[in-house]
């Protein structure tokens, strides 16, 4: 079966893409906040936000007034599939919150923080670089410039993120995780990349830590 690609750029004007990525960058506040706030409190806040966003998503499909208001104020920032009333789909921001909840519940704190930072910065910066300079594409909505940017920014973020040991082995783990996550992003997986990027990154980090540090206590 041939994979269905969603064109994520053609319907979003560039100024809207910038606003969208500014919101994306601001999601780093989740990771930073989680470093200093108890897990249960962070999950409670994110859970409330996600429920509210789901309510808005549901109501906008049922109410013409809410839908028109939503389109009037946010259409310039939205992908086509996010305002298509013929098929219900949640927007990218909801996926970010859902991914954060998933990673925080499933993975140790430093690993979850690292994966979510990858989403906030590597994904956002690569998308903007791809829009501006990514003329040559190797797949729908995937350019060489965007992928290289993802890898470079990912390295920068992952190497600066807090570590357990700060050893050569740990930085090797980080390097492998960046490579795998970059490949996963380049594959245009059918699940929203706001979810796949942090989950793939966290999963690889977690497995590698267990392999290279078998006695680790997170």
Closest of 106, 105, 79 to residue 94, by C-alpha: 79
Q: What would the pLDDT profile of 64-84 be if each residue is shown by its tens digit?
A: 777 777 677 666 666 665 566
Instruction: Enter the tokens of residue 156.
Output: 């920068």
pLDDT for residue 82: 59
**Contact indicator for 110, 174 with CB cutoff of 8 Å:** no
**Angle 99-101-105 from CA coordinates, rounded to 5°:** 120
Contact (Cβ atoms closer than 8 angstroms) between residue 167 and residue 69? no
Residues linked to residue 142 through DSSP beta bridges, in sequence order: 139
- As a whole number of Å, the CA-based R_g of the chain is 18
Distance CA 139, CA 157 (A): 25
196: its two tokens: 């796949």
pLDDT of 8 reads 43
The 3-state DSSP class for residue 107 equals coil
Q: Which residue has the tokens 């690609």?
A: 5
**What is the model's pTM?**
0.85
Q: pLDDT for 102-135, tens place per residue?
A: 999 999 999 999 999 999 999 999 988 988 887 7
Domain spans in the chain, listed from the N-terminal domain onward: 14-212
Residue 2 has pLDDT above 50, yes or no: no
Largest CA distance in the chain: 57
User: How open is the CA angle 95-191-20, to the nearest 5 degrees?
Assistant: 45
What is the structure's pLDDT at 9? 46
Taking Cα atoms as reference points, which of 92, 124, 52 lies closest to residue 83?
Answer: 92
Cα 123 to Cα 50, 66, 126, 210: the distances in Å are: 21, 30, 5, 26
């Amino acid at each position: 079966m041939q994979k269905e690609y969603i064109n994520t750029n053609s319907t979003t004007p560039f100024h809207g893409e910038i606003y969208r990525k500014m919101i994306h960058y601001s999601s780093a506040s989740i990771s930073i906040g989680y470093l200093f706030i108890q897990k249960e409190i962070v999950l409670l806040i994110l859970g409330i936000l996600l429920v509210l966003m789901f309510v808005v998503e549901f109501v906008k499909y049922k109410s013409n007034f809410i839908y028109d208001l939503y389109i009037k104020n946010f259409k310039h920032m939205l992908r086509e599939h996010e305002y298509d009333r013929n098929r219900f789909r949640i927007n990218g921001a909801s996926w970010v919150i859902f991914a954060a909840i998933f990673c925080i519940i499933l993975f140790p704190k430093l690993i979850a923080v690292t994966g979510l930072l990858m989403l906030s910065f590597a994904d956002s910066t690569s998308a903007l670089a791809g829009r501006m300079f990514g003329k040559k594409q190797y797949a729908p909505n995937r350019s060489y410039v965007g992928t290289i940017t993802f890898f470079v920014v990912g390295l920068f973020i992952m190497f600066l993120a807090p570590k357990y040991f700060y050893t050569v082995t740990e930085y090797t783990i980080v390097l492998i995780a960046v490579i795998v996550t970059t490949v996963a992003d380049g594959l245009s997986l059918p699940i929203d990349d706001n979810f796949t990027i942090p989950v793939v990154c966290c999963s690889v980090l977690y497995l590698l830590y267990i392999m290279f540090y078998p006695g680790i206590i997170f």
